[in-house]
Structure 1
Amino acid sequence: MFKVESLSSRIGKIQILHSLDFHVDKGEIVSIIGANGAGKSTLLNTLAGIYTPVEGKVTLQDDLISGLPAHKIVGKGLCLVPEGRQIFPGHTVKENLTLGIYSKYYKDRKHVEENLERMLELFPGLKKHYHRIGGNLSGGEQQMLAIGRALMSDPKIILLDEPSMGLAPKIVNEILEILVRIKEEMGTMVILVEQNVKAALKVADRAYVMDQGKFIMNGTNEEISSNPEVKSAYLGIKVG
């Protein structure tokens, strides 16, 4: 289990997150939805160690990870796929994937090769571009490369920040299907931050709605998608 308790975070002197509590169970996709400026990306960056929480704690399988530097959090089994993908554009697909594997595996070439083969099976579209420069890939291919790079480190939980941004609906559906496979085949926990609420709720087991750094509601995907406030504010459905 991944558990967050009373988590608060600031950027400079401005407090962005306010005493957040939530959890993710093994093999579960949890979506966090909300408008721009709600604090979603700040939450992911705080969980990943880019920002240091001012209070609260984060545990991953009973291992306290809050307050650790980002590279040690990766070593504990948490990996972030940031907004905008942020691949290494001057490196090949193979090099990008290999750079994602945590350093403790570098001497285990068999494990590296096994993970590379697994990523090409999971993302077959990358196979034909294996030796191409990452910056020459399409937006969807770069997003799949970013997810594959994160999975190379064998994370227990993966955090995705707006993976559908700028992508065609067909590609978004492919990525969502891959997230479900990651959950079901690998048992990996997934936190999905999305402004595309319909896409997020399509694959989520549960969802939290964030507003001004706080969770204002949570529930199963069915409960959230049928909530009148969510329908009106996020799904564009007039209620009443």
Structure 2
Amino acid sequence: MFQVKNLSTSIDKIQILHSLDFHVNEGEIISIIGANGAGKSTLLNTLAGLCKPLEGKITLFDEVLSGLPAYKVVGKGLSLVPEGRQVFPNLTVKENLLLGIYTKYYKDKNLVNTNMEKMLEMFPGLKKHFDNLGGNLSGGEQQMLAIARGLMSNPKIILLDEPSMGLAPKIVAEILDILEIIKREMGTMVILVEQNVRAALKVADRAYVMDQGRFIMNGPRDEVSTNPLVKSAYLGIKATG
């Protein structure tokens, strides 16, 4: 499993995360929900090695990730799909995908080719753009490319930061379907940070609610989605009676 204990992080001497504890079981999707500024992206960046924690321990199947630089974290089996997609606009779709498996590129060319074929099968819309520049793709296509790039290294766990941002409902639905496939067919653990709370709770096995760098609630999807606080603050459903 993936486990986080007593994790705290500061940025520019301002503490953002405060003693967070959580875990992800094998084959599980968890959603982390909360308002803008709650600390969700900082959490993912800390897990991925882009931010150094003040304290705490991050382990993936008993291997310690906390304190490792980002490129070593990827090599250990954790992949981040960042907010805003961040595809390389001047590289082709093929080149973007290859960068997702750079840690194994020279070690196992058969794996590279196998994973490339697998991604093009899972994301058929990328196949027709294979030799086109990433910057020329639509927003939805770029998001698919970012997810496919993150999966190229066969990660044990993948983190997605606001994958539905700025996308049409039809594309959001496709992304949710892909997350189910990742869980069911690849067995990959998923951490989903998403302001679209309805979408996040639709696919999650469990959810954590974050406020000001702390978890204020967590539990199974149905328990969190029916909580009066969550319904009022995040789903726009007013309490009755």
Q: TM (normalized to structure 1)? A: 0.99
Superposed displacement of residue 106, structure 1: 2.6
Structure-to-structure mapping, 1:50-89, within 5 angstroms: 50-89=50-89
Residue 182 of structure 1: SS of its match in structure 2?
helix
Superposed displacement of residue 221, structure 1: 0.8
What is the root-mean-square deviation in Å for CA atoms of aligned residues? Answer: 0.7
Aligned length: 240
1:94-133 per-residue CA deviation (whole Å, 9 max, x = no partner) reads 1110111032333422111100000011111111111111
Asked if structure 1 preserves the Cα contact closer than 8 Å seen for 2:104 and 2:112, the reply is no
| Unmatched 5+ stretches in structure 2 | none
Code of the aligned partner of 2:149: R
- Measured in 1, the distance between the counterparts of 2:144 and 2:106 equals 22
Residue 75 of structure 2: SS of its match in structure 1?
helix
Code of the aligned partner of 2:91: H
Code of the aligned partner of 2:124: P
- Measured in 2, the distance between the counterparts of 1:180 and 1:106 equals 31
Query: What's the counterpart of residue 20 of structure 2?
Result: 20
Asked if structure 2 preserves the Cα contact closer than 8 Å seen for 1:106 and 1:112, the reply is no
Asked if structure 1 preserves the Cα contact closer than 8 Å seen for 2:87 and 2:96, the reply is yes
Code of the aligned partner of 2:74: V
Superposed displacement of residue 231, structure 1: 0.3
Q: TM (normalized to structure 2)? A: 0.98
Asked if structure 1 preserves the Cα contact closer than 8 Å seen for 2:93 and 2:133, the reply is yes
- Measured in 1, the distance between the counterparts of 2:237 and 2:106 equals 50
Asked if structure 2 preserves the Cα contact closer than 8 Å seen for 1:75 and 1:102, the reply is no
1:139-161 per-residue CA deviation (whole Å, 9 max, x = no partner) reads 01000000000111111000000
Asked if structure 1 preserves the Cα contact closer than 8 Å seen for 2:83 and 2:163, the reply is yes
1:44-85 per-residue CA deviation (whole Å, 9 max, x = no partner) reads 000001111111100000001100011000000001100000
Query: What's the counterpart of residue 3 of structure 2?
Result: 3
Code of the aligned partner of 1:114: T
Code of the aligned partner of 2:93: V
Residue 135 of structure 2: SS of its match in structure 1?
helix
Superposed displacement of residue 29, structure 1: 0.3
Residue 104 of structure 2: SS of its match in structure 1?
helix
1:176-203 per-residue CA deviation (whole Å, 9 max, x = no partner) reads 1001100110100000000000000000
- Measured in 2, the distance between the counterparts of 1:103 and 1:201 equals 33
Asked if structure 1 preserves the Cα contact closer than 8 Å seen for 2:104 and 2:153, the reply is no
- Measured in 2, the distance between the counterparts of 1:174 and 1:85 equals 16
Structure-to-structure mapping, 1:224-235, within 5 angstroms: 224-235=224-235
Asked if structure 2 preserves the Cα contact closer than 8 Å seen for 1:2 and 1:60, the reply is yes
Identity %: 77
Query: What's the counterpart of residue 238 of structure 1?
Result: 238
Deviates most, 210-219 or 96-105: 96-105
